[in-house]
Amino acid sequence: MTHRERIETAWDFREPDRVPIEFPVSALVREDPRCERLVRLADEHADNFHGVAGYDWGFLGHPAERTERVLEDADRYERIEWTMHTPAGEFVAVIRRPRFETGIEDYHWEKRYIEEPEDLERVLSVPLQPRAPLKQAFDRGVRAVGDDGVPIIGLFHPLGTLVRNASMEGVYSWFRSEPELMHRYLQVMNEYVVGAVHAMFDAGIGPNFISYAHEMLIPPWLGHDHFEEFVFPYDSPVYAAIHRRGGRFRAHCHGSCMGFLERFADMGIDSVEPLEPPPYADVDLAEAKRLVGDRMLLSGNIPSQAFVFWEPEQVEEAVREAIEVAAPGGGFTLRLTGGGGGRGSERSHAQGDRNIRCAEAYFEAALKYGWY
């Protein structure tokens, strides 16, 4: 089977020749001579979803240009000001980026773009204007992917994007203090997304979409009551629009989502990842398979955030157990639950060496146990 056929067969809840192995290879991995064998394994065996262009979502739906200004350049960190220039005005954020010995970039938000309800009112003060779908960029992306995997289009999720771009303490309090404003924002933005979905399908863009949002909309951030009021009724029409056009939707959702999997499926989510096990979150993969394994493609459950202190034998056991409980009948892909498999989650060169060894063991175990 090709990589694309393998994923699509699993997503159709049939058994492919072997369990698909997700493992995107970052530029950091390709450039590291220690990762030469890992890159060979990934290039030959990885079955990935590949992001392709579909629509320019701008900043909360508005066309935007971001400028950057260094506020402080110190030995151990730098402080940077980001400004989004939009038709609704300028929105400013400040980050602090530490300098790690590995050269890996990460940062801490000192100030986010949306700080007060007035900022959100400003976002809503200028009507959103439909834009032409990115058909040429989409076609280039699809050609580049070929049969090496499944093209998938990033979909703006208004609430998840707002949470990431706003003061977290503020936006979660607005569900109680500013419910009318939140409902108005969600109504306007999700209607815009539905329109964009239809415009993309009309232009020949689709059928698979993904958002990186729902991890911000479950505990410890939101409980079931708020989920039912502010997430379910606004997400459902978006996924229904995708389904009406023959498409499918995949959700990226870190965290303790076990108690929400059935509502995810009811809402119209067709696939969910990365399904983190304890102690990192609460996903029991065998129970998830029993509850929703015939309704959603389940992806993940291999805790790569542990690779910086695990041994390869522990990786092998985790992969074996995941395949054993989730692979029968299809509907499952192996996937790492933490960022930076092979490189990216370490903070020292010694941790990087261990991370690489464990990532190699991930492939070795998948190829040992994953054949149907």
36-45 vs 349-369: helix crossing angle, rounded to 10: 30
pTM reported for the whole predicted model: 0.95
How far does Cα 177 stand from its chain's mean position? 29
* Of 368, 273, 372, the residue nearest 41 (C-alpha): 368
Looking at the structure, tell me whether residues 47 and 67 fall in a common domain.
no
Q: Which two tokens stand for residue 194?
A: 């539905």
Does the pLDDT at position 4 exceed 90? yes
User: CATH number for the domain including 31?
Assistant: 3.20.20.210
Neighbours of 313 (CB within 10 A): 11
Looking at the structure, tell me whether residues 104 and 211 fall in a common domain.
no
Looking at the structure, tell me whether residues 52 and 74 fall in a common domain.
no
Looking at the structure, tell me whether residues 19 and 108 fall in a common domain.
no
Separation of alpha carbons 46 and 26, rounded Å: 13
Residue 107's pLDDT band, with cuts at 50, 70 and 90, is confident
Q: What residue numbers bound the domain in which 227 lies? A: 3-56+131-369
Looking at the structure, tell me whether residues 247 and 335 fall in a common domain.
yes
What percentage of the chain reaches a pLDDT higher than 70?
Answer: 96
Do the Cβ atoms of 107 and 173 come closer than 8 Å? no
Looking at the structure, tell me whether residues 146 and 100 fall in a common domain.
no
**Does the residue 123 lie in any domain?**
no
User: Lowest-pLDDT range, 47-51, 127-131, 134-138, 165-169?
Assistant: 165-169
Picking from 115, 149, 184, the residue at the C-terminal end of a domain is 115
**Does the residue 121 lie in any domain?**
no
Residue 347's pLDDT band, with cuts at 50, 70 and 90, is low
pLDDT, tens digit (0-9, with 9 covering 90-100), for 302-322: 999 999 889 999 999 999 999
**Does the residue 352 lie in any domain?**
yes
pLDDT, tens digit (0-9, with 9 covering 90-100), for 260-299: 999 999 999 999 999 999 999 999 999 999 999 999 999 9
Neighbours of 118 (CB within 10 A): 9
What pLDDT, on a 0 to 100 scale, did the predictor assign at position 345? 66
**Does the residue 274 lie in any domain?**
yes
Do the Cβ atoms of 121 and 193 come closer than 8 Å? no
Looking at the structure, tell me whether residues 135 and 28 fall in a common domain.
yes
Neighbours of 195 (CB within 10 A): 13
Looking at the structure, tell me whether residues 41 and 70 fall in a common domain.
no
Which segments within the chain are labelled E, that is strand?
A: 48-52, 65-73, 77-86, 89-98, 108-111, 149-154, 208-212, 248-253, 271-274, 297-302, 332-336
> Who's near 41: CB < 8 A, 6+ residues apart?
360, 363, 364
Compute the residue count for the chain. Answer: 372
Whole-Å CA distances, 280 to 134, 259, 336: 37, 15, 13
Does the pLDDT at position 349 exceed 90? no
The total of structural domains in the chain comes to 2
**Does the residue 199 lie in any domain?**
yes
Looking at the structure, tell me whether residues 256 and 308 fall in a common domain.
yes
Whole-Å CA distances, 102 to 13, 70, 99, 196, 349: 41, 22, 8, 40, 6
**Does the residue 175 lie in any domain?**
yes
Looking at the structure, tell me whether residues 84 and 163 fall in a common domain.
no
Residue 28's pLDDT band, with cuts at 50, 70 and 90, is confident
pLDDT, tens digit (0-9, with 9 covering 90-100), for 63-106: 999 999 999 998 888 999 999 999 999 999 999 988 766 656 67
**Does the residue 310 lie in any domain?**
yes
Looking at the structure, tell me whether residues 17 and 108 fall in a common domain.
no
